[in-house]
A and B are shown apart, each in its own frame.
Chain A
Amino acid sequence: MAPPIRLSVPGTLLYRPIAVRTVAEAARLVSCSPTNDIKDPTIDPLVHDVRHPFDTAVVSAFMEIFNNIAIHAYQRRGGGTIELTITPTSDSLLIEVKDSGRPFDLGNVVPLPADLDEESLPEGGMGIHIAKTMLDDMTYTPGPPNLWRLYKRLPAAQVAVGRS
């Protein structure tokens, strides 16, 4: 098995695109999703091609966790790093995300309303719900350092397609 991919970026939103791009590429290593038609100038194939459901899930979840760290752990002030250890296998992806900011209390996350209608549309508090729902497993261990573990399996049918 190849060694993990490691990336360390300052814990501010300025560096979010670099981290997201790295995660998107790692997801594509697992999903074997094709890159975009390079003749299409409207889409950046590295950043925005997350159309494969596996890529969609991984990138969507990771974006929310990065946001959470930059906003809650580092309170938009930076001052620390976000360290990624990404382990792709033939049928799964594990992303470990470490930060040295304030611990986050997952227990304080308010669940989304069961019956969503026009009146109850939320304007916040959706990030953790998105990450948790998109992944097969997500754990958080308060630190220091704080550790998020994001795990996604590639469905068996998609493994077969990707390797064909």
Chain B
Amino acid sequence: MAPFEVHRTNEETTLTIRGSLDINSAPALNDEIDKIVPTRPQKVVVDLAMLDLIDSSGVAALVKLYKGVRNTGGALMITGARDQPLAIFKLLRMDKVFNL
């Protein structure tokens, strides 16, 4: 089972990621991102409250989503980052860009 699920409403697209987002699971998320971005969502919420582990491949996927959504005029918000994933975002100094 992919470690993520997508929920769409008229107002926003919510992407919930759980478990480990890493080099083995990020390709499936990248495929999903390739479906999300062309829909030009106005608001995307990425919920990381259930994400336990992330590596650079997982971060790259989220950066790809962030840039894709922003480039099509939408807004992306990341919520719930904690523990190891939050430490990684801080180490990469992405916490400020993502408002974590």
Interface residues of A (CB under 8 A from B): 13, 16-17, 42-44, 47-51, 53, 56-57, 59-60, 63-64, 67, 70-71, 112, 116-118, 121-124, 126-127, 129-130, 133-134
Determine the distance from Cα of A122 to Cα of B59 in the docked complex, in whole angstroms: 9
* B84 on the A face (CB < 8 A): yes
Residue of A nearest to B19 (CB): A48
Contact residue range for chain B?
20 to 34
Give the residue of A47, A48, A51, A123 whose beta carbon is less than 8 angstroms from that of B60.
A123
27 contacts between A and B (CB under 8 A): A16-B24, A42-B18, A47-B53, A48-B53, A50-B53, A51-B83, A56-B83, A56-B87, A59-B53, A60-B88, A63-B22, A63-B55, A64-B55, A64-B56, A67-B23, A112-B92, A116-B92, A116-B94, A118-B66, A118-B97, A121-B66, A122-B63, A122-B92, A123-B63, A123-B64, A130-B92, A134-B91
**Of listed B57, B67, B83, B84, residue having the most chain A CB within 10 A:** B84
